[in-house]
Amino acid sequence: MIGIKSDLGNIRNLNEDYAEFYEDENYKVCVLADGMGGHNAGEIASKAATKALIKYIKDNVDTYNTKELLENAVKYANIKVFNLSHCSDTYTGMGTTLVVCLITKEKTLIANIGDSSCYGIKDDKIVKITKDHSLVQELVDCGSISFEQAINHPQKNVITRAIGTEEDVEVDIFEIRKDEYDYFLMCSDGLSNEVDLDNIKSFNIEEKELQNICEKLVESAKFNGGRDNITVMLFGGEV
């Protein structure tokens, strides 16, 4: 079972987030994208990237090893959005973040572009697995600002890598031990900017509660301001 919830938030009049999943008896793939605010057709970019990635994996799951499959799928999604952005003036400059989790019986792999995130959950701990491609993250990495200063930095939402803005994209891939986490949470920054995700440890996470927890997290983000679109997916680490 997979919990999934997407919401406009309190301020935006268009939801540029998009999330989708596919699963069968051999693997499951969960994808979440956040169309770039301030760019044309962000909602088109996020949906196109997500659907292209899932299609590539379904069409090529038996062709490549798992890591090559995921990297190629992200690059395929990137070129699809890049080409689409050149089809019409309406789409010029569009792009999207992307975070994806591919789970097989043997491996769990996570890839990300931009600042949408994936967290691993086990017992009473929640750990951020992905690393943001953002200006603020670069400032933290070089020691210019502290982690605490980054939380409310005025340029927090400036990303340095995105799907569809260049013809090629560098993909970060993280391989997770099968016993390392019981559940994974993926979200757009509309959730992570508004909600302290350490609070998720207060939930008694069970398969039958995944959808309910997603809905509660979205409501928490809206209660705390809801300044952006909010999307969250919560799912187990097994096929």
pLDDT digits (tens, 9 = 90+) for 44-93: 999 999 999 999 999 999 999 999 999 999 999 999 999 999 998 889 98
Assigned CATH for 2-236: 3.60.40.10
How much is the pLDDT for 148? Answer: 59
Q: Where are the domains of the chain?
A: 2-236
User: Rounded to two decimals, what is the model's pTM?
Assistant: 0.94
Q: What is the pLDDT of residues 140-182, one digit of tens each?
A: 567 676 655 656 656 667 789 999 999 999 999 999 999 999 9
Token pair in block for residue 207? 């398969």
What are residue 184's DSSP bridge partners?
A: 120, 235
6 conformational bin, left if phi > 0, alpha if psi -120 to 50, beta if neither = beta
C-alpha to C-alpha distance for 137 and 158, rounded to whole angstroms: 10
Q: Which SS3 state, helix, strand or coil, does residue 135 take?
A: helix
